[in-house]
Chains A and B, each alone.
Chain A
Amino acid sequence: MDNSHFISVVIATRNRAHWLEETIKSLIKQTRMPDEIIVVDNASTDGTALFIAELQKTISIRYLYEEKKGIPFARNCGVKAANGDVLVFIDDDAVADENWLKNIEIHFIRDPNIGAVGGLVKPYPIRNSKIEKFYVENMLLV
């Protein structure tokens, strides 16, 4: 039984610089800090690169660029570059709860046969539209 892991958090992003900051800030507030944060820029045209460069002044972020568009390309680019033995994925339009990584890591430590751990996805409380409500009720994972 191993006691701790090297956790790489991988964020694939395209043209969501305006949302990325909140995603990344939620990662540096974790009770179990990530060992590395990797942002894979999937051919953004909105200045994501500059935005990350600005964030890198205060936060340690590895920036990668994947020119082939598509989530699998971007995630695979992150997987290949990651140093972690546990790779955790979050999207650029999501924010993690502060105990997110802690609650994920427990299971990788506990059982070496576990290949994947999934968590709960809740709607981000922005507004209470009917479409959003429909989503929440019909897709457990929004």
Chain B
Amino acid sequence: MIIQILSKVINKGYLNKDHYDISSPFFAGTNVAFRKKALVEAGYYDNNCKSGEDQDICYRIAQKGYELYFEPKAVVFHKNEMSFRFFIRRWYYYGYHHPYLFKKHANKGIKLYISKFDKSKQSLYHLVIDKKFPLSFIVFFTPFLLLNILLIGLIGLRIAGSSITPMLIVSSFVVISALYCFRFDIKRRNGTESLIFVFLRYTANLALLIGGFFGGLKQKMLYFNGTLDSKN
């Protein structure tokens, strides 16, 4: 089953397929080579994949029993269009099209994923609940999602005209979860860069989450996407 949007492949060698129970390793489409036989057996690229087609094809090739090998000495330099508008659109796009892949490779049901503290493993999440159900309700419970739930709660309290004490309590949780979400950005030596990175991470994650939500609705799922919580 494929769940991760980003590849976490870093070490030279074979990708050990058996170790990936909930996420599947893959290579970026701009630097990948296939044995033609494997590509044909796996059934070519999926024309319905608007994004994540590289993830999908690597998964299907591995399912056919072929090995995937990462060679960091085979280098490609990639140009990026780096306007802010493009940046937001790209993350929204990733988010929006991910539920299609999820639906393609996972069973219907209620699934709850929690992000791992130990990010050294290839998979970023634990699968905590996996119940069969006629509707799909998928939640990646990340610190970023928690932060936003708390923020919404805080606004809700304000609108409801709550007294100061509950608002202070929720605010302190907002601060704690924000510090956790952006810990690597805050730790940077350069203050301006810290601020810019916090801003970029927040907007990229929000775009992923909102994109994933609408993409999920299109696939008839209630879908809360995984986000970028820390350095890989």
Contacts and interface: CB of A to CB of B under 8 A. Distances in A.
Interface of A: 19, 68, 70-73, 75-76, 79, 82, 84-91, 93-97, 99-101, 103-104, 106-108, 111, 113-127, 129-132, 134-135, 137-142
Given A104-B71, A119-B33, A119-B74, 19 more contacts: A72-B45, A72-B49, A79-B45, A88-B32, A94-B30, A94-B76, A94-B77, A95-B77, A116-B69, A117-B74, A118-B68, A121-B78, A123-B80, A124-B79, A129-B82, A132-B80, A137-B231, A138-B231, A141-B27
Contacts of A118: 9, 26-28, 31-33, 58, 68-71, 74
A121 B36 CA distance: 22
**A-B pairs with lowest CB-CB distance, top 8:** A115-B66, A118-B27, A119-B74, A115-B38, A72-B45, A91-B30, A141-B28, A97-B75
B47 interface: yes
Contacts of A134: 196-197, 200-201, 204
Given A89-B29, A94-B78, A131 B200 contact: yes
B47 A70 contact: yes
B90 to A, nearest CB: 9
Contacts, number: 227
Interface of B: 6-10, 26-40, 42, 44-50, 53, 58, 61-62, 64-82, 84, 87, 193, 196-197, 200-201, 204, 228, 231-232
A115 B82 contact: no
Contacts of A122: 75-78
Contact of B76 (A96, A114, A117, A131): A96
A135 B32 CA distance: 20
A140 B9 contact: yes
Nearest to B200: A134
Q: Which residue, of A91, A111, A118, A135, has the highest number of chain B Cβ atoms within 10 A?
A: A118
20 contacts: A70-B50, A73-B47, A76-B45, A85-B36, A89-B34, A93-B30, A95-B76, A107-B69, A114-B66, A115-B68, A116-B58, A117-B33, A119-B72, A121-B75, A130-B197, A135-B80, A138-B6, A138-B204, A138-B228, A142-B78
B53 A72 contact: yes
A108 B35 contact: yes
A52 to B, nearest CB: 19
Contact of B73 (A90, A91, A103, A140): A103
Given A87-B33, A117-B32, A121-B31, A142 B80 contact: yes
Contacts of A88: 32-33
